Structure 1
Amino acid sequence: MLNKKAGMIAAVALSTSLLVTACSTQTGTESQASSPSETSKPAKQETLRILSGVVGGKTPEENALFEKEVERLTGIKVTIEKPAADYDKKLYAAIAAGEKYDLIYMGKGNMDVLVEQGALTQLNDKIKASKVLSDPKVIPTKEWDMITYNGGKIYSVFNKSEGGTLPTVRQDWMDKLKLQQPKTLDDFYQTLKAFKEKDPDGNGKDDTYGLSTAGLYDIQGFMSAAGVKYKYVMDANGKRSIPYATDAAVPIYEWFAKLYKEGILDPNFATNDSGKMRELFLTNRVGMVTYWDAWVGLFNNMKKTDDPKFVAKAIPGAVGPDGKVMLRRGDPSVWGIPVNAEHVDTAMKFLEFWQSDKGNILSTLGIEGTDYTVKDGKYSLTPDGISHGMDHGAPFPNNTNFKNPIGTLPGALEGRQIIFDNNATIENSTKDWPNAEKIVTNYAFQAMMGKMPAADAVKKMRDELKAVNLID
């Protein structure tokens, strides 16, 4: 599945990428009925310059093929620029420098910043005028609420349908150890303890952990036990609070400290990135991780050849005080049109294509002949297509009419349903969150690693946030 939202980034000097344009130079030929002076007019080539975080090919070489596939399917010659790293910085710097893109990919946090800056084109009228984008069977009406601003203003169109993050468990280990699906925080402790102590991989060594995370990303499924939500929560008067900095979160930090002390929690959780966490899960080192629902299917797909007994399964988080689970739904990933875009109508044409069956096939399966083949109406993935996991930017399109002709990866749909069934809501980051996150993370780690009593850590966290006016 994007991964963390950046805050306001100061404008920096960047060299401007040249817009690649191409115009057809096809010369009209004379017909027998035409006079020698009559020739057909050259057809104008539609072009787009796109800045993308995830949409496109998996490698620079495949990205070039992806561009050609878009042109084959739409007639639009596109240039898709995919920065290798620091996408958010590139995005903000490009906008600040006045670089001209026709479409930009972004998460809601990025969009919040750019809307505040006045950098995006309002799209309400264009969406309303589009038979495709205004069709509730293509994009459900309630989904638009997530990206609608004050006054009903809309500045983007969805890239894909987002799921969320949740605990993902080695179900084959659960079955081997005869464990039941955990529901309470104590249930989770007992399950994770068994993964640590009962040799679930059967190698006779004490080399497994119960749980690994990539920092605080994403422990929401456990914070659910206290009914607290990550990032900002605003009350009816706009007063800001961060529930992870409240006393309600203290018992959860204490729970993590117990896991850490007993060697159940991966000792490198605080410095892991998501790649290191995934690697532990895929190499039989840990029984549970907290990650995106779509990755349940990807995990199973990656291991089906070399370890057919491997089974990843998404499970709900811990039940809260109200008897419900509180999970996180991912921020919408969207396409926006900058106010200085040169080809707005063509950009809208691309967005309509992206929500069509052909666009959905491209965004999932990928490029015909490279990622998949079609014979007698039957779709088959190539070896490259299998390795790409049916994800070229939108593994789950918004278009409710779309049915993936290959099917979905094992466990992925079940994971998404858990997200939709369990009070999963998007997080409210605001432009202040990057500064607040540093403070929250610092003291949360100290509490989770037992370096400071959890109650003291939360008090210091809260006091520091108030001191710099990051909560009210």
Structure 2
Amino acid sequence: MNRIQNWKQLRVLGAVSVALTTLIAGCGGQEAAPSDKTPTAVGEKEAPKEPLKLSMMNMYYTAEPPKADNEAVKLIEAHTNAKLDITWVPNSAYNDKINATIAGGELPKIMMIASNKSSGIVNAVKSGMFWEVGPYLKDYPNLSKLNPLVLNNISIDGKIYGIYRSRPVAREGIIYRKDWLDAVGLSEPKTIDDFYNVVKAFATKDPDKNGKDDTFGMYEGRGMNGFQTILAWYGGPNLYGLQDGKVVPDFMTKEYVDALKLYKRMYDEKLINLDFAVVPGTKRQEAVNQGKAGLIISTLDDVNAGFNDLVKANPNAVLDVASRINGPKGERLMLYNGGYVGVYMFPKTSIKTEQELKQILGFLDKLGDKKLQNLFEWGVEGKHFKVENGKPTRTDGKAYETDINSIYQLRYDDGSQTDAGEDAAIVKKYKQMFQRNAEIAIANPAESFESATLAEKGSELTKIVQDARVKYIMGNIDEAGWNQAVDQWRKSGGDKVIEEYTAQYNKQKK
């Protein structure tokens, strides 16, 4: 999984803003007030007999788009009494497609917006392009149970303009070679020092016993996927934190420098790959598969996919996961991506009335029913799983990948209603970690805030910090040089960002 490592960079969808002036005129100046009448979910007695026709845009991560006759989609349509017309777009081209679609003016009724806090989308919301849905959520059995914290994270000016796609709030940790850990005589790391000692042993103690000095302890990519997790261990904030009454970015804290120093130590001692600054994040799993590295920091559920080549090359290889590392402020993890990945939003140009909006919200509410949560989780009984001792057990992982995983991005629920199954031990372990670790997840207090300065200068400001971070780790600048880069960030617009966020934080407190 890719993780956004920049500290709240807003990606600008340029053509969105260009198209706004031509589209907003047709959106209407005011939206209808919520009705007192409880809305009718699709499929109930008052609903139309004909299936609700719904156009949607969504992304896929698989090699090929889902097939038109996908069995799971047919089951979803049957359960929700809907006919879906889904435009599937590869994730690598998704933002560009959203940009072009809005510019073209022909919008589907449900748009999965990946970059919902980009300046283009925020401006579109403020201009009236999308329906506000917050007042309606209480009327639906599933939508009314959405996490208030995550709803706040997706809000714009305190209002809810979509249905977020839920993800575990504490999702990241260490994926490591358990057989290597046993080979070097160490136990699962519990502290930052333990973690360093494991990384060092994997790099220096010939964990694969081939008599060669050819392994790295940890493999890292140019996005520095592990940095925020290590920052959490040291007690740092989640992208932004409170300091002397102000909302400041994480890199202005002592804890951030502590994390930098650990990275620099591992780099100087050649415990991590020295080309990390130019290596794509996808190479991290490859390095583990090829026996080049002993661990990566990633989303824990990655351990369930992407490592088939490791077992093929080395049948004796064993992977394990760890998540709770005790640091100066105890055990901490970052709340992952605000607790969501993308938001379903509803254009007014394609949804003309409040009644139609309610029908579409009814569809989404039923999409979160227990039956469909189990469909996303397990697939079709007899094809993807069987029931043993009253619990579902996966039978055909390849068919599940083709039929279910290919359309997984349709899912927005948190999985709370799914049946517990006979998972593999490693899957059961990380699922328990997801639940248990939610209590130590650190939120970003500025998640729902906006910054005009970041919208204008976000890329420039982020580059200052990211370049300095790499230079510090590689020894091209010292701590004084790092502080100079922070000062440059502040003078280039950063102080204005702090001012904007602090004002919104103080307003929110009232």
Q: Same fold (TM over 0.5)?
A: yes
Deviates more, 1:304-313 or 1:215-224: 304-313
Q: Which amino acid aligns with 2:182?
A: D
For 2:344, the equivalent position in structure 1 comes to 335
- Cα deviation, 1:168-201, whole Å, max 9, x if unaligned, reads 2222322222212334433322211100011212
Which residue of 1 is the match for residue 384 of structure 2?
372
Match of 1:416 in 2: 434
Offset at 1:113?
Answer: 5.8
Q: How many residues align?
A: 437
Asked if 1 retains the 8 angstrom alpha-carbon contact of 2:56 and 2:86, the reply is yes
Pairing 1:319–2:316 present: no
The one-letter code of the counterpart of 2:166 is K
Correspondence 1:20-59 to 2 at 5 A:
44-54=50-60, 59=64
Aligned to 1:174: 181
Say if 1:131 and 1:325 are closer, same or farther in 2 by CA, change over 3 A: closer
Aligned residue among 219, 231, 238 for 2:239: 231
Partner of 2:201: 194
Cα separation, 2, equivalents of 1:233 and 1:465: 17
Shift of 1:356: 1.0
8 Å Cα contact 2:234-2:329 kept in structure 1: no
Distance verdict in 2 for CA 1:54–1:387, change over 3 Å = closer
Q: What amino acid is aligned across from residue 15 of structure 2 in structure 1? A: A
Worse overlay, 89-98 or 254-263: 89-98
Post-superposition CA distance 1:376-412 (Å, at most 9, x none): 9966442523556974237894142222556463532
8 Å CA contact 1:221, 1:316 repeated in 2 = no
Structure 1 distance, partners of 2:481, 2:103, is: 38
Q: Residues 40-73 of structure 1: CA distance to partner in whole angstroms, max 9, x if unpaired?
A: xx96452222121348x76225365154443344
Structure-1 separation of matches of 2:385 and 2:236: 47
Structure ranking higher in helix proportion: 2
Structure 2 residue identity aligned to 1:131: P
Task: Quote the residue 2:224 is aligned against.
Answer: 216
The reply to whether residue 461 of structure 1 matches residue 485 of structure 2 is: yes
Q: Please say which of residues 291-300 and 421-430 is displaced more in the overlay.
A: 421-430
Q: What is the rounded CA distance, in whole Å, between the counterparts of 1:307 and 1:388 in structure 2?
A: 26
For 1:330 and 1:452, how far apart are their aligned partners in 2? 30
Q: Cα offset for 1:358? A: 2.9
1:22 alignment counterpart: none
**1:95 aligned to 99, 102, 108, which one?**
102
Provide the residue aligned with 1:160 in structure 2. 166
Which residue of 249, 252, 257 maps to 1:250?
257
Q: CA deviation at 1:101?
A: 1.8
Q: Distance in 2 between matches of 1:267 and 1:354?
A: 46
Q: 1:102·1:344 contact (CA, 8 Å) conserved in 2?
A: no
Task: Let me know the Cα RMSD of the aligned residues.
Answer: 3.6
Contiguous gaps of at least 5 residues in structure 2:
20-47, 499-510
Give unpaired runs (5+ residues) of structure 1.
Answer: 15-41
Is this contact kept in 1: 2:10–2:118, CA < 8 A? no
CA spacing shift, 1:344–1:194, aligned 2, 3 Å: same
Query: Does residue 268 of the first structure (1) align with residue 268 of the second (2)?
Result: no
Q: Whole-Å Cα distance in 2 between the matches of residues 389 and 183 of structure 1?
A: 39
Q: Is the 8 A contact 2:239 2:444 kept in 1?
A: no
Question: In structure 1, how many angstroms separate the alpha carbons of the residues matched to 2:365 and 2:313?
Answer: 40
Distance 1:108 1:233, change over 3 A: farther
**In the TM superposition, what whole-angstrom CA distance separates every residue of 1:233-280 from its partner, at most 9, and x where no partner exists?**
36696x442222445432322221221122111123222223111111
Q: TM-score, normalised by structure 2?
A: 0.74
Query: What SS is found at the alignment partner of 2:298?
Result: strand
Do the aligned partners of 2:54 and 2:109 also contact (CA within 8 Å) in 1? yes
Q: Do 2:238 and 2:444's aligned partners in 1 also have CA atoms closer than 8 Å?
A: no
User: 1:195–1:209: 8 Å Cα contact kept in structure 2?
Assistant: yes
SS in 2 for 1:290: strand
C-alpha distance in 1, partners of 2:321/2:184? 18
| Pairwise CA distance, 1:445 | 0.7
Deviation at 1:357, TM superposition (A): 2.2
Q: How far apart, in 2, do the equivalents of 1:2 and 1:120 lie?
A: 28
**Which residue number in structure 2 is paired with residue 33 of structure 1?**
none
State how far apart, in whole Å, the 2-side matches of 1:390 and 1:67 are. 9
Determine which of 338, 361, 386 is the counterpart of 1:348. 361
Among candidates 126, 138, 141, match of residue 128 of structure 1: 138
